[in-house]
Structure 1
Amino acid sequence: MTPSEVAAGCTVDFPLLRWRSAGNWDVPAWAALIARTAAVEKPVWFEHEPELEQIMESRKNPPERNTVLGFDPDGVARAYARLTKNSDSEKAYGFGCVDPQWQRRGVGSALLEWLEARTRQRFAEDAQAGGQATERVTAAPRLRIHNEQQHGHQAALFARHGYEVVRYFNEMHRPLAGPLPDVVLDPGLELVTMGPELSEAVRLAHNEAFRDHWGSEPKDEESWGYVVNDPQARPDLSAVVLERGTGIVAGYQLAAHDAESAVTRGFSEGYTNLLGVRREFRGRGIASALLADAMRRFASEGFDVASLDVDSENPTGALALYTKMGYTPVNRSLAWDKPLTPTA
């Protein structure tokens, strides 16, 4: 049996499964595959149907060319891979999972090979379309994949295929029982609840604030939509600091809450998805005030902990700030990179 033809003409070299790109009708089966895998591997977070429905609407990364699902002879989804890339980026991101019943058969290796082949194609397509900056057109294609440190089988797979760890990230928790910090802003600033009227200004502030962060790329309207319209987004638990008089966004804290995780993890958490302060406003206690405000909002909802993730080498000193605010590391995740030979 020859390898199955799938998205963008790439193949998945594992003929025991039938491969094709994901369609809207596949979302329930796709979500069920991820949930079955998560029940065994117990990741901190995993995608549910609403998130997959958002992915299916992507214009930058259309699923018919950037996803692949593998089905067993009974039509049950057993594995998937997905690729995302911005047209002017020097890297692509890979995602995927394999049903625990189908692991250790070579499916993961086949999916990595598909992701690498599709990454080469995406770089070639973007270069041909003129969507990349000149210095990035000639750069070697690069694929980045993240995993949690607890998943040693994934790390072993990546290492066998030539991937190397390029960064570590810490998940941090701050218990909400007991006294909470109360940080006051200086008179030239005011804190308001996040609302849709602030969305575009916060997007621009985010792009500015994260310009010096490792691996960060500017968010356009589509990628920003995934943040503010995420089914787990909680604008009522999010806040923006504005400069009085000008209304300029100085900083922001965008929160989310996954109600289902309270069942699987045994505690409820308010999660700070994004926290940023523009350069010209740094050093004025804005991040501390936003975190203190978030804790109080989370506590009022009855959550057990405030949580966030941070780059272990964050250039703004965020790790030290979070530690000072009472956060402690509880989990670690890794970013793996592999430079690829360009398509001939």
Structure 2
Amino acid sequence: MSSSATDQVEHPASTTLAPIAERAAAPSTLPPVTAGDLTWRAAEPADAPALLALRNGIAEADQEPYRETIGEIEELFTAPWRDLAADSLVGVDTDGTLRAYALVDTNPGDANTVRAFLWGGVHPSHRGRGVGRELFAWEIARGRQLLAASGKELPARLLTYGEDTDPPAKARLYARFGLETRRFYSDLRRDLTTPIPEVPLDGSLRLVPWSTELDEATRLAHNDAFRDHWGSEPRTSEAWTHGRSEFAPQWSFLVVDDAPDVDALLADPTTDPETAAALRAGEPLVVGYEMAGRYDEDFPVRGYTFGYTEILGVRSAYRGRRVAVAALAAGMRAFAADGMQYAALDVDTENPSGAHGLYASLGYEKVTGSRMYSIEL
């Protein structure tokens, strides 16, 4: 599942930073991974079923509140910006079974902080043999190489995520490599048998179902809505549309302004260039959105059915007009109509927009939690 939780950035101005190549301190060669009597190679598309089994096996052992699908795993291999030949490893035992993996990922749209995401895991059968330590050293080193190669003179971050249910050894591993806990997230749910509010919209605002025709306008709304949120970066068109194997368009809703004050928006210094170009071209203006996913594999793990709000956002110029509540309530009604028992989402516990209070007022309650670990460069 994707997290909608991000907050205001707190980094020094990039002009005070040393060059990214210096800060990243990228090694010229990657450390070898030899532990565990495994054969190591890059991940390949044909590995998708085995990688799914490995990742879900790790999730079960660590009591993580989700399971993945083959579609989600296959998407790892189809992102056009990824080079898995260089940015992944899998460890294979003598029977040909995958026992460990690593993936280092970047986001092509990073414009405020350039990031390297570190993903990986070791099957319980091969823990305690030094595999995780060597594998994470490889991830850190490759992440530093990618940050240096980005050429982006921006603040930089090496990061990974963990569930509250993770074994203590995982947190100790991250600490050993200098990662610190930076953010905490709450996974929330709301009982759909309780009344869902009716939320009228004012003026020329209109609630509509998500559609392909409005998807690019929704991307622009998202980039505006999350511009002042910690950890969030602009989404390129290819990143926005990728990774939708579990996307539920029937549960996703938008708010559009049928008669925006174009002159005022163009005069607003916070209006980004892409939105300004769309306004001049007379394109539709999405001002808020609720994008949802359906994760059937998680239902038996959690013990209930639910619809999941992936991201919820409102353009900065339209805040205070109940746009988010209208979109979220529409999503909840769609979940309920399809027989879901709960609405679910997650949120940064330090979110400055008041999102936590909003969700609490609508009946959302915390179920589980997760956290982000990082090295800030």
Match of 2:47, SS state, is: helix
CA deviation profile, 1:26-67 (whole Å, cap 9, x unmatched): 111111111222222231234322112111012212211111
Of 21, 41, 61, the residue aligned with 2:82 is 61
Matched letter for residue 197 of structure 2: P
Match of 1:260, SS state, is: helix
* 1:30/1:339 CA distance change after superposition, 3 Å: same
Q: Which residue of 1 aligns with 2:249?
A: 235
CA deviation profile, 1:262-296 (whole Å, cap 9, x unmatched): 12221011000010000000000111111111111
CA deviation profile, 1:138-169 (whole Å, cap 9, x unmatched): x5x53101001111332222123321101111
The separation in 2 between residues aligned to 1:11 and 1:25, in whole angstroms, is 24
The separation in 2 between residues aligned to 1:314 and 1:152, in whole angstroms, is 27
CA deviation profile, 1:162-204 (whole Å, cap 9, x unmatched): 2110111111110111322221111421100001111111011
Of 345, 356, 359, the residue aligned with 1:319 is 356
Match of 2:190, SS state, is: strand
Of 158, 180, 198, the residue aligned with 1:143 is 158
Q: Which residue of 1 aligns with 2:214?
A: 198
Matched letter for residue 211 of structure 1: R
Match of 1:169, SS state, is: strand
* 1:47/1:10 CA distance change after superposition, 3 Å: farther
The separation in 2 between residues aligned to 1:18 and 1:326, in whole angstroms, is 50
Q: 4+ residue stretches of structure 1 with deviation over 4 A?
A: none
Of 24-33 and 14-23, the range deviating more from structure 2: 14-23
Of 117-126 and 201-210, the range deviating more from structure 2: 117-126
Matched letter for residue 45 of structure 2: N
Q: Which residue of 2 aligns with 1:98?
A: 122
Q: What TM-score do you get using the length of structure 2 for normalisation? A: 0.82
* 1:56/1:110 CA distance change after superposition, 3 Å: same
The separation in 2 between residues aligned to 1:166 and 1:319, in whole angstroms, is 18
1:125 matches 2:169 = no
Q: Which residue of 2 aligns with 1:282?
A: 319
Q: Which residue of 2 aligns with 1:171?
A: 187
Match of 1:233, SS state, is: coil
Q: What TM-score do you get using the length of structure 1 for normalisation? A: 0.89
Of 82, 97, 106, the residue aligned with 1:85 is 106
Matched letter for residue 318 of structure 1: A
The separation in 1 between residues aligned to 2:351 and 2:34, in whole angstroms, is 39
| 1:1-344 equivalent positions in 2, closer than 5 A | 11-14=32-35, 16-87=37-108, 88=110, 89-127=113-151, 132=152, 134=153, 136=154, 142-153=157-168, 154-227=170-243, 230-246=244-260, 247-339=284-376
Q: 1:14, CA displacement in angstroms?
A: 2.1
Asked if the contact 1:164–1:337 (Cα under 8 Å) also holds between the matched residues in 2, the reply is: yes
Matched letter for residue 163 of structure 2: E
**Coordinate RMSD, CA, aligned:** 1.7
Number of residue-to-residue matches in the alignment: 322
Match of 1:91, SS state, is: strand
Match of 1:191, SS state, is: strand
Match of 1:316, SS state, is: coil
Match of 2:308, SS state, is: strand
Matched letter for residue 181 of structure 1: P
Q: 1:337, CA displacement in angstroms?
A: 0.7
Asked if the contact 1:71–1:77 (Cα under 8 Å) also holds between the matched residues in 2, the reply is: yes
Higher RCO, 1 or 2 (CA under 8 Å, sep at least 6)?
2
Matched letter for residue 346 of structure 2: D
* 1:156/1:15 CA distance change after superposition, 3 Å: closer
Matched letter for residue 20 of structure 1: R
Which 5+ residue runs of structure 2 have no aligned equivalent? Answer: 1-28, 261-283
Match of 1:319, SS state, is: helix
Asked if the contact 1:166–1:336 (Cα under 8 Å) also holds between the matched residues in 2, the reply is: yes
Q: 1:222, CA displacement in angstroms?
A: 2.1
Asked if the contact 2:159–2:375 (Cα under 8 Å) also holds between the matched residues in 1, the reply is: yes
Match of 2:196, SS state, is: coil
CA deviation profile, 1:73-121 (whole Å, cap 9, x unmatched): 1111001111111355422111111111111221111111011110111
Asked if the contact 1:22–1:63 (Cα under 8 Å) also holds between the matched residues in 2, the reply is: yes
Q: 1:15, CA displacement in angstroms?
A: 5.7
Match of 1:70, SS state, is: strand
CA deviation profile, 1:297-344 (whole Å, cap 9, x unmatched): 11001101100011111121111111111111111111001247xxxx
Matched letter for residue 101 of structure 1: S
The separation in 1 between residues aligned to 2:34 and 2:320, in whole angstroms, is 53
The separation in 1 between residues aligned to 2:295 and 2:197, in whole angstroms, is 24
Matched letter for residue 314 of structure 2: V
